[in-house]
């Protein structure tokens, strides 16, 4: 086989054969198919799609490109969670220790930022000393001793996805439903978790802009997980407005610690607890109360042990950007819209994300929100604070915020969108 014939098949809206899929994934993993060729194929998949048979085979080929992990030696049932990516989506940080505090083991393999959405590993690496790269033995040891681990997938776990994941970020193909589903599920199935809860974001700040696409993605992933013996449930959750009051790396770590301390923004707490309940139910743990574990400090205890076990200092001062710029409200009234995509792009442009797969990120960069939709604001009050080490980026970031928020007359009624929109099992 050759890469050009595979590209042409999908370019011309054909169905890739099992042999073509197996070959191209294996050849790309080995370096026989070049990045520019896989980029062309990824774009063809984005534009022309894949049917369920193709997606299933693509996922199986990604799994077969590497090893499978085994957590059967653990005394606890395993439960994992994956988010399709959003703005201010720091949920994994408080969620993993919270679920562990309630009795499950959480083997959380996470990724880096994709486009305007933040990456869990980028956030945690703002904690001095914290390590994302663990060997399989180290990962199992942290999981066994603390109940939770958040780390990067090892080189041996779905290596085809590791290459393709970075390529999608810089070629405009992140949003392809077949590639999203296969990327997520190949890693999660190969990881060996017993149950999985998917947080599929919907809205301007998500890759799925409408409920129909989000439902298609969620159903595809639930089907893939179920077919491979992993109990899988999905929640469709709102991403029209940023989650919480921060979008960035160290900024979101700080907010996550506030949640673990029993505080934090209401929407972050609500979604964290909702996902924790789904994970515990999927793992067969029926008598634990995640809200109580947040309130009594047991989740915070797990967080501190987990961070320390991966070389981090849970008491360290988090990085702060050298420069700030305050965006003020242009008029008085009710903030009725704060666009997640605009905020996410601003944080990305300030240095919280990357434009190329090899780019570094700034730990302190991002956007801090001083109001959320439904809040009353007065002219001149701070609405957003932009953080960066490179102030020349302010103008570029501010352009993404043009038209990103609406302020209506005082007394205007505001109807909030629910955090959780649907459940798919």
Cα–chain center distance at 232: 17
Known catalytic membership, residue 256: no
Hey, what's the torsion of the CAs at 69, 73, 76, 79, to 10 degrees?
A: 10
The DSSP line for 325-383 is: EEEEPSS-EEEEEE-HHHHHHHHIIIIIS-SSTT----SS-EEEES--TT-EE-TTSEE
Dihedral (CA of 240, 241, 244, 249) sign = positive
Tokens 């999660």 sit on residue: 188
Please identify which of the residues 187, 201, 354, 387 carries the catalytic annotation: 187
Known catalytic membership, residue 370: no
User: What 3-state class would DSSP assign to 109?
Assistant: strand
d(CA 272, CA 261): 13
Asked if 385 and 367 count as a contact pair (C-beta separation under 8 A), the reply is yes
User: What 3-state class would DSSP assign to 286?
Assistant: coil
The arrangement of strands across the sheet holding 382-388 comes to 246-248, 366-369, 382-388, 323-328
Known catalytic membership, residue 82: yes
HSE-CB at 312 with a 13 A cutoff on CA atoms is 27
Please identify which of the residues 39, 83, 183, 195 carries the catalytic annotation: 183
Please identify which of the residues 57, 82, 123, 231 carries the catalytic annotation: 82
Please identify which of the residues 22, 122, 161, 267 carries the catalytic annotation: 161
Task: Tell me which residues are annotated as active site.
Answer: 82, 161, 168, 183, 187
């Amino acid at each position: 086989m050759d890469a050009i014939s595979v590209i042409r098949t999908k370019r011309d809206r054909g169905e890739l054969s099992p042999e073509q899929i197996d070959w191209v994934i294996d050849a790309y993993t080995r370096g026989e198919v070049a990045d520019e060729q896989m980029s062309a194929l990824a774009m063809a998949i984005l534009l022309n799609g894949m049917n369920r048979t193709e997606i299933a085979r693509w996922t199986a080929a990604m799994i077969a490109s590497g090893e499978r992990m085994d957590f059967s030696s653990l005394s606890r049932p395993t439960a994992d969670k994956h988010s399709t990516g959003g703005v201010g989506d720091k949920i994994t940080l408080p969620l993993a220790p919270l679920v562990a505090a309630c009795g499950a083991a959480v083997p959380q393999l996470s990724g880096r930022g994709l486009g305007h959405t933040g990456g869990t590993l980028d956030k945690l690496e703002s904690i001095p000393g914290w390590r994302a790269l663990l060997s399989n033995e180290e990962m199992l040891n942290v999981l066994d001793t603390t109940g939770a681990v958040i780390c990067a997938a090892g080189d041996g776990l779905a290596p085809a996805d590791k290459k393709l994941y970075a390529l999608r970020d810089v070629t405009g193909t992140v949003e392809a439903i077949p590639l999203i589903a296969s990327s997520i599920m190949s890693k999660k199935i190969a990881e060996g978790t017993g149950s999985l809860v998917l947080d599929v974001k919907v809205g301007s700040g998500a890759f799925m802009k409408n409920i129909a696409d989000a439902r298609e993605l969620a159903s595809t992933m639930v089907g893939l997980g179920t077919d491979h013996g992993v109990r899988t449930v999905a929640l469709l959750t709102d991403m029209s407005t940023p989650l919480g009051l921060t979008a960035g790396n160290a900024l979101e770590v700080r907010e996550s610690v506030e949640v673990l301390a029993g505080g934090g923004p209401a929407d972050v707490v609500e979604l964290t607890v909702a996902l924790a309940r789904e994970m515990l139910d999927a793992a067969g743990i029926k008598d634990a109360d995640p809200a109580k574990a947040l309130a009594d400090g047991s989740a915070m205890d797990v967080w501190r042990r987990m961070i320390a076990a991966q070389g981090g200092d849970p008491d360290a001062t988090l990085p702060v950007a050298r420069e700030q710029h305050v965006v003020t409200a242009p008029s008085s009234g009710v903030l009725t819209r704060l666009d997640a995509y605009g905020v996410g792009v601003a944080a990305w442009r300030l240095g919280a994300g990357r434009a190329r797969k090899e780019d570094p990120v700034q730990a302190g960069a991002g956007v801090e929100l001083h109001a959320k939709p439904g809040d009353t604001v007065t002219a001149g009050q701070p609405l957003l604070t932009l953080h960066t080490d490179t102030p020349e980026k302010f103008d570029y970031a501010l352009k993404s915020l043009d038209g990103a928020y609406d302020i209506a007359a005082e007394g205007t009624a505001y109807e909030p969108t629910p955090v959780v929109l649907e459940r798919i099992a």
